[in-house]
Amino acid sequence: MSSGERIPLDYPLSAVSATLRFCISAAISCLYLYLAFQTSESLFNIGFLASFTFLLSLSLIYKIVSFLTIYKVVTLKGEYRKEKKGGYIELFYNMLLFISPFFLFIFTNPTLALGILLGTISAFGISDSIFYLYVKNKEASLGGHFKAFIERGDKPGRYVWGLCLRFKGEINRG
């Protein structure tokens, strides 16, 4: 078992965060619609629609399949735990993933790149919002709420990410 204090987190997002992501995605989608009717470039529409549909589908399928695997463990054992490696390498990969869509402007047509960028931002925000509603629906069927947590791992440079189910009236132990 790991040692240390457990840091509780909202799962999958807080209500404010989910609402904010949806609003940003809706604003980006409105910006896309405005720009789509102002340009005659078909590459812009192709970039947005292709990236939006592909990434929305892929992201939702991945999140739901991963969650259903975790959901089975949580309903059977009461808690899901997975030790992960943290540190600078993980930070580097996350930063690279974040800035990689901007490299499209260097390697492709800027109109296509803008469509892909707007589609990517919109797809991930809407995907997060749909997944949030999916998890809340599962919580309602169970009569509780999911709580994620992070705690120090057994080895240096590692941490434990976990998920547990809390029921109404239960004492919060983190």
Question: Which pLDDT score is estimated for 39?
Answer: 86
Question: Which pLDDT score is estimated for 172?
Answer: 54
List, for residues 60-106, the tens digit of each pLDDT value: 999 999 999 999 999 999 899 999 887 788 889 889 988 888 899 99
CA angle 26, 53, 30 (to 5 degrees): 20
Strands (E), the chain: 7-10, 79-85, 144-152, 158-167
Give residue 150's identity as a one-letter amino acid code: I
Q: Strands of 79-85's sheet, edge to edge?
A: 7-10, 144-152, 158-167, 79-85
* Measured distance CA(115)–CA(43) in Å, rounded: 8
List, for residues 29-53, the tens digit of each pLDDT value: 999 999 999 988 899 999 999 999 9
| 129 phi-psi bin (left φ>0, alpha ψ -120 to 50, beta other) | alpha
> Given pLDDT bands bounded at 50, 70 and 90, which one contains residue 158?
confident
Instruction: State the pairing for strand pair 7-10/79-85.
Output: unpaired
Structure tokens belonging to residue 18 = 């989910």
